[in-house]
Structure 1
Amino acid sequence: MAVVEQEAQVTGLPGAAAKRVRISIVLGAWGLFYTCYRAYYALGGTVGMFGTPASYQQWRMVNAFGAGILLVAAVLPVATLPLWRRSHGRLVLPAICWAVTVGCVMHALINGIQRALSLAGVMQLDLPFWKTIDHRTADLQDLLFNEPWFLVEGLLWAWLALSSLSPGTARRRWLISAGVAIAVLTVVGMLSATGVIGTFIV
């Protein structure tokens, strides 16, 4: 409790430390949830699969790699909690939150739009990783499960950053810059997905 009060005094934001702890714990739990999902397939699970991979070994490796990245993402917000009490940390961590927010929200929007267009029959997604695939099931799973996870993940990181920034100019700059970056990258991603420009991987 003393540490929380001390941090609140350092940041000048009453209750900021306690709120940051709560958000970080939620972020960690949210990340672990998706980590378990990917780890299940990495270990050979098959429930919920919407097709037959061209290579089961590659499928498991991709999910193992994804689970590893997600585990880091789950641990990061909790592991960096002490750094918010340091001046350098309060400069660097909002930038990290910004990058994760932009990346996750952009990913959710671009892929969500593509899946919706695919369900509507407007766009046909090229999925060479699969030998056989139920496109409708794949689209629905991504649209209703995968992309909402990325969207919530991005919004939680945004909440973490905003809870630590002083009200006013700092928060407005963070929000506006993140919003502009998300909008621009989403447009670029969709132009790439529709073949208007070259490849843009998200």
Structure 2
Amino acid sequence: MDSAARTLARASVVVAGWGFCYTLYRAYYAFGGTALLPGRPANPSDFRMINMVATIILLVAAVLPIAMLPLWSRPRVRPVLHAVCWVIAVGCVMHAVIDAAQRVLSLAGLLDIRYPESAWASIDTRTADLQDLFFNEPWFLLEGLGFAALAWIALGPGRPRRAWIGSALAATGALTVVGLLSATGVIGRLIIG
């Protein structure tokens, strides 16, 4: 195994481990845990179900870097793997930046984040903002950067790497601007996912 393949294998394990840690966090709530919740869910069974779905999605994301590892050696499959990494990197980094900005604006009293009564019977918005800002969004940021690192390593030096990074940065920037404009009410509400 050459140096790049070893680096890709190590990075894949790290990204998978990071994903699995967040999976455990959401699984805790899916199976009825309540510690550190910023409020009281309006419907505990719905709350558990939402977290169960999130746990399944996160588990797939955690397994994905390891599942992709043997496929990087197949030239025909590599473009699909680059696309998967691109979508996850752009989506996660954009999510982290938009939500972190919203939380900072909320803590500063410049944005009123509304929590649906159908989701929360009661909520401490300051605690929710801080939990999201210091726990949830850093996970999304690092997960996105982790998948970007996998593509970076697999692409190797040269023009394809620069094109991949350039397009990912451009998409993240554009989508972040649209997301922030939507979140702050400058444009209409836009929710993806």
* TM-score normalised by the chain length of structure 2: 0.96
Q: Which residue of 2 aligns with 1:27?
A: 15
Q: Which residue of 2 aligns with 1:53?
A: 41
Identity of aligned residues (%): 57
Residue identity in the other structure for 1:17: A
Structure 2 CA distance for aligned equivalents of residues 193 and 101 of structure 1: 21
Residue 134 of structure 1 and its aligned partner are, at CA, apart by 0.5
SS in 1 for 2:76: helix
Structure 1 CA distance for aligned equivalents of residues 29 and 156 of structure 2: 42
Query: Is 1:118 equivalent to 2:106 in the alignment?
Result: yes
Residue 196 of structure 1 and its aligned partner are, at CA, apart by 2.2
2:136 to 146, 152, 171: 146
Structure 1 CA distance for aligned equivalents of residues 169 and 182 of structure 2: 20
Query: Is 1:157 equivalent to 2:135 in the alignment?
Result: no
Number of equivalent positions: 190
Gaps of 5+ in 1: 6-14
The within-5 A match list for 1:1-202 is 4-5=1-2, 15-128=3-116, 129-202=119-192
Structure 2 CA distance for aligned equivalents of residues 166 and 82 of structure 1: 17
SS in 2 for 1:132: strand
Structure 1 CA distance for aligned equivalents of residues 47 and 21 of structure 2: 19
Structure 2 CA distance for aligned equivalents of residues 31 and 136 of structure 1: 26
Residue 78 of structure 1 and its aligned partner are, at CA, apart by 0.1
* TM-score normalised by the chain length of structure 1: 0.92
Residue 47 of structure 1 and its aligned partner are, at CA, apart by 0.5
Structure 1 CA distance for aligned equivalents of residues 150 and 128 of structure 2: 32
CA deviation profile, 1:52-73 (whole Å, cap 9, x unmatched)? 1111111100000000000000
Residue 74 of structure 1 and its aligned partner are, at CA, apart by 0.4
In terms of Rg, which structure is larger?
A: 1
